[in-house]
Structure 1
Amino acid sequence: MKMKWSAALLVAVTGLAHGQSGVTLYGIIDTGLSYYNHATASGGTFIGMASLTGRLPSRWGLKGTEDLGGGFKTFFVLENGFQPTNGTLNYGGRLFGIQSNVGISSDYGSITLGRQMGMTMYALFNADVIGPSIHSLSVFDSYLPNARSDNAIGYMGKFHGVTIGGTYSFGRDAAGPAGPGATNCPGQVPGNMLACRQYTALLAYDSASFGVAASYDVLRGGAGATAPLNNSRYTDTHSVVDGYVTLGSAKIGFGWIRNNLAAATHLQTDIFFAGATYYVTPAFFFDTQGVRYLQRGSEGTKDANSTLLIGRANYLVSKRTMVYTSVGYMFNSAQAANAVAAGGTVATGMNQLGVMVGLQQKF
């Protein structure tokens, strides 16, 4: 039974357009001006450049393939993430923090070795219409745009619309400590097979008009790693169930994300989201999304919940250049301090408005 690749998924999986052998340079530069209020306890505002991300994180990369014959191909991808506002590296200062891997593909799927995206990210690709933007799901869970693994082996295959995938990491994060993309957990410790291990799994189905996906993602801690995962007995688990429907010029996406942190203290969070993209013309389209965040700690606290509303207008000036504006409004409960913008700040219990006007160019 031969497999027919979905082109969109294959590009997401390997960053490669399979065809003639060769090497391609590609990238995105995306930044703009950002505003949000209630950034301090005294109600101060922020106006400045958006550093962490715009509509999409800025990146550049090299990708290549070689046809080995008999239906087999080798591929590689080296992809760098950077901040266009100051030229510094993201993802813990890695030169190739988004991806750095090599692999082989055939009609039966692809096997990838090296730093690569986990199945949590793939599960969200089609259902999350906003993506890793400045106002997005990532303001509630910074792991979501950083769902990658060092020292990993991965598999993905598609068979008549059904996609099966998984990764296993022997040491999930060798950089740090510098935030969610660098937690100082390299693993591969003699005598401790659990230290910094990670495994992810994906099962999805896509048709011409709808799709559904589910993923499971378990991270283990290690001695000396960034708290709270500083012990190999501790785990951080993400479960995703989502889907999408296309209706003419519109696409509707929806889903649920549960995060269970089992460490010295226990924390459970749930993210529910629903959104839509509507194309007025092929060059002008709108995105909108509503997100509900619920948090429960060891003592059963329920007063750190939030609701985020997002609207975004996008205009393609050309095939490579886009201008856009994104507006987000965060409703925080009494003990919540979830900022409306990625990398932003907000006073506890305060609502927050965020606006960004941005420019994106692809090459």
Structure 2
Amino acid sequence: MEVRSVLRSVALSSLMLVSCMAYSQSSVMLYGIIDTGVEYYNHAAGGGSFTGVPTLTGEVPSEWGLTGVEDLGGGNKAFFKLESGFAPGTGGFNYGGREFGRQANVGLQTAYGSVTLGRQVNMTTYALLSADVIGPSIHSLYVFDNYLPNARSDNAIGYMGKFAGVTIGATYSFGRDAAGPAGPSATNCPGQVAGNFLACKQYTGLIAYDSSRFGAAVSYDRMRGNEGASAPLTHSAYTDSRSVVDGYFKLPSVKVGGGWIHRNLSAGAGSMVYNLYFLGLTYTPIASLALDTQVDKYIQSGVTSSTELVARASYFLSKSTSVYSSVACMINGRNGSTSVAAGGTVEPGAEQLGVMLGVRHAF
């Protein structure tokens, strides 16, 4: 009788374990992109030209990461993401030298949206994802403002909900950056500061609509500085705000996207205002070939203006591997000093030609 009781207990425990495992399904995935090649541009700072391997990005930045999802039942899920950016030319970390400088977060997802805690992509990035056909490439609108491809927040809580075609999102950072100035994505703002509620705070918001043929997005991003941060945000009273308004429409083999980015930096003698406009087109004549072109116009009223023209062709050898060529021309105004290439240099006021040949592999 005692043996039968033990067997019943074992059977019941096994059923409970199987039921629990079925209830809580989980998965972890390793993924990444390696993208590099050779770039050239003329009229580099100090004269002459540059030929070499890019340090910041190719067609897209190189990265690797781990992401996981656990089914909690009832349509609820737990998730995490650890994502690292690196330079293929040297193997070193990008994003301020951080191991997981792109993302490091955990969260919960329900029918009412998802809540994310940790270092995360903020709403400025999401606003630009669909309308900017070139993306964070070596030749892109991001050369005018290196915050745009690095729009992430440390010590943040984020929300995103998708309801039919409408997306609503927001982030709030208690201390937006705690990394030293080892690259454009690190500003040395000392994170969460006891006794100074305003120091390094940041909030972003997004509302977007997407359908099979068209979409639009609006976002707002406001950050504060603090003592010890990289100039010009060296005081918690100083603010840096960016607004994005953009949209796109699609036909069977064509996509057109465009928008407006407005920045208002209020930082004493370092204050500035700019407007950045972009309009681009992607044409896919066959499934394995994508042709992109875009014009970007930067205007800093009363100071300077610059125009960038970009053309890119990408050929997909497989679902994971592609080769590409990108050509761009930067026409700087008299006081302009924007390089045609991300991470590049230029003689002030010079026109500049840039070329990139590269290969990208995703896994």
Same fold flag (TM > 0.5): yes
Partner of 2:12: none
**Pair 1:275 & 2:280 matched:** yes
Partner of 1:326: 326
From 166, 169, 188, the counterpart of 1:165: 169
In structure 2, the residue corresponding to 1:138 is in which secondary structure?
helix
Partner of 2:207: 203
Shift of 1:41: 4.1
In structure 2, the residue corresponding to 1:152 is in which secondary structure?
strand
Hey, what's the Cα distance between the residues in 1 that align with 2:277 and 2:257? 11
From 280, 288, 292, the counterpart of 2:293: 288
CA deviation string 1:119-160 (max 9, x = no partner)? 000000000000000000111000001100000000000111
Partner of 1:215: 219
Whether the 8 Å CA contact 2:327–2:356 is kept in 1: the answer is yes
Shift of 1:106: 1.0
Partner of 2:3: none
In structure 1, the residue corresponding to 2:343 is in which secondary structure?
coil
Hey, what's the Cα distance between the residues in 2 that align with 1:131 and 1:177? 24
From 123, 140, 151, the counterpart of 1:147: 151
Whether the 8 Å CA contact 2:181–2:230 is kept in 1: the answer is yes
Q: How many residues align?
A: 339
Shift of 1:179: 3.4
**Counterpart amino acid of 1:332?**
N
Hey, what's the Cα distance between the residues in 1 that align with 2:56 and 2:146? 12
Hey, what's the Cα distance between the residues in 1 that align with 2:131 and 2:25? 31
Partner of 1:10: none
**Pair 1:262 & 2:266 matched:** yes
**Counterpart amino acid of 2:187?**
T
Hey, what's the Cα distance between the residues in 2 that align with 1:178 and 1:215? 27
Hey, what's the Cα distance between the residues in 2 that align with 1:76 and 1:146? 20
CA deviation string 1:313-361 (max 9, x = no partner)? 0000011000000000000111101100000011011100000000000
**Pair 1:90 & 2:91 matched:** no
Shift of 1:187: 3.0
**Pair 1:352 & 2:356 matched:** no
Partner of 1:49: 53
In structure 2, the residue corresponding to 1:123 is in which secondary structure?
helix
Structure 1: runs of 5+ lacking an equivalent: 1-18
**Counterpart amino acid of 1:136?**
S
Give every structure 1 segment of 4 or more consecutive aligned residues whose post-TM-superposition deviation is greater than 4 Å: none
TM-score, normalised by the number of residues in structure 2: 0.92
Identity of aligned residues (%): 62
Whether the 8 Å CA contact 1:187–1:222 is kept in 2: the answer is no
Partner of 1:174: 178
Whether the 8 Å CA contact 2:154–2:191 is kept in 1: the answer is no
Shift of 1:20: 5.4
Hey, what's the Cα distance between the residues in 2 that align with 1:338 and 1:136? 12
Shift of 1:51: 1.6
Whether the 8 Å CA contact 1:218–1:237 is kept in 2: the answer is yes
In structure 1, the residue corresponding to 2:195 is in which secondary structure?
coil
Hey, what's the Cα distance between the residues in 2 that align with 1:121 and 1:79? 16
In structure 1, the residue corresponding to 2:338 is in which secondary structure?
coil
Whether the 8 Å CA contact 1:23–1:62 is kept in 2: the answer is yes
Shift of 1:63: 0.3
Deviates more, 1:192-201 or 1:262-271: 262-271
Whether the 8 Å CA contact 2:78–2:108 is kept in 1: the answer is yes
Shift of 1:223: 1.3
Partner of 1:111: 115
**Counterpart amino acid of 1:214?**
V
Whether the 8 Å CA contact 2:125–2:149 is kept in 1: the answer is yes
Partner of 1:26: 31
**Pair 1:231 & 2:246 matched:** no
Partner of 2:66: 62
CA deviation string 1:236-277 (max 9, x = no partner)? 001000000001200000000011110012200110000011
Whether the 8 Å CA contact 2:157–2:172 is kept in 1: the answer is yes
Partner of 2:337: 337
Hey, what's the Cα distance between the residues in 1 that align with 2:231 and 2:239? 11
Whether the 8 Å CA contact 2:27–2:68 is kept in 1: the answer is yes
Hey, what's the Cα distance between the residues in 1 that align with 2:34 and 2:147? 22
From 243, 253, 256, the counterpart of 1:249: 253
In structure 2, the residue corresponding to 1:26 is in which secondary structure?
strand
TM-score, normalised by the number of residues in structure 1: 0.92
Whether the 8 Å CA contact 1:41–1:348 is kept in 2: the answer is no
Hey, what's the Cα distance between the residues in 2 that align with 1:282 and 1:37? 34
CA deviation string 1:142-187 (max 9, x = no partner)? 0001100000000000111110000000000000122331111133
